Amino acid sequence: MRATRPLALSVLLAVLLVTASAAQARGHHGRHHGKGRTVFVGPGESIQAAVDAAKPGTTIKVFGHHSENVAITTDRISLVGVHAVLEPAATPIQNACFDPANPTDINGICVLGDVDFSTGEVKREVRGVTVVGFTIRGFSDSGIIAVGAQDATFAGNVADDNDEYGITAFSSTGTKMLYNRASGAGEAGFYIGDSPRANAKLVGNVSTDSLFGVLVRNAEHGFLKRNRIYGNCVGVVVLADAPGPAGFFRLIRNAIVKNTKACPASEDSSVPVSGIGVALVGATGVRITGNAIVGNQPSGETAFQGGVVVVKGDLGTVPTNNHVHGNLIVRNDPDIFWDGSGTGNSFRGNRCDTSVPSGFCR
């Protein structure tokens, strides 16, 4: 399996362009911009102009339907949608997250730190940004994306039919994705990537009808808890060798069921995939406990399959010290598959029927 476009092609911004000024907003109103202030943006008014004028600590409440792409580069901005819908404009706003080298790759809401995209270095993280309550659909890249963000929170959003990712974070720490819904993503509904100290929390989300329900790539440390992941080609992937290590995530009490969609080989997956619940590909230190991993059966061609699949990475990194304990893993084909590579991998106390090699079920 191959992950995704490199970071420099994913969001990626060769230069930061000047954003629209506050004077371009029509009619947004409220108390004056400043620390701890609240600003209101009505239907058809400019969210970007309100964001540009806001100082750290500002809450921006957005109402109604908007056709634009939004970039946030200021600390502690809270963007709160109230029945708010965000869709692409006919002409994208050339804000800080607009990449002139890839003008057709547009993100809905982008949270961006000070990032050197020639090296991938995050010079300074943008801190404490919150995005709540938006429906974001139809963007050619991601619905919501964070790059170089610290402690960003994305909660109660709906990301539908965005071409790459529903909600994603690159080169970020402390990301929280809470009680969102993502569907119809060309790659992953939810994605944590290029984050060696991710410390990410994904809780209570729903992910469906995508290539990957949740993808953790070249990222370490975090947990997935009480998410519902169904109807994808692959439920959850922790992917090393793309290019670096991945692991030290905990999967706790998730429902990973009926991921039966079939996806052919593509730019986003170098092999066809279908019928995979959880895949640990060269991963290390992943703990899978108390999950229901049920009915993940292939509906088309697939390079591998199973309820829980533990295999080496594309570049030969072996899975190590992964624990699959105390799960319900049934009606998969097989329920557990391990290619025998690596050390310290254990499969205990799982209620399942079939495993390769045999002996992992009780």
- Token pair listed for 332: 């998969």
Task: Give the mean pLDDT of the chain.
Answer: 91
123-156: per-residue pLDDT in tens? 999 999 999 999 999 999 999 999 999 999 999 9
Q: Report CA-CA distances (Å) from 281 to 98, 155, 187, 337.
A: 33, 29, 17, 12
Q: What is the pTM of this model?
A: 0.90
Interatomic CA distance for residues 157 and 205, integer angstroms: 10
CATH class of the region 1-210: mainly beta
Residues of the chain with pLDDT under 70: 1-35
CA 103 to chain centre: 22
Residues 6+ apart with CB under 8 A from 357: 338, 340
2-57: per-residue pLDDT in tens? 344 433 323 333 322 223 333 333 334 444 434 579 999 999 899 999 999 999 99
Interatomic CA distance for residues 162 and 170, integer angstroms: 17
Question: Please, where in the chain does CATH 2.160.20 lie?
Answer: 1-210
Task: Identify the DSSP state of 16.
Answer: P
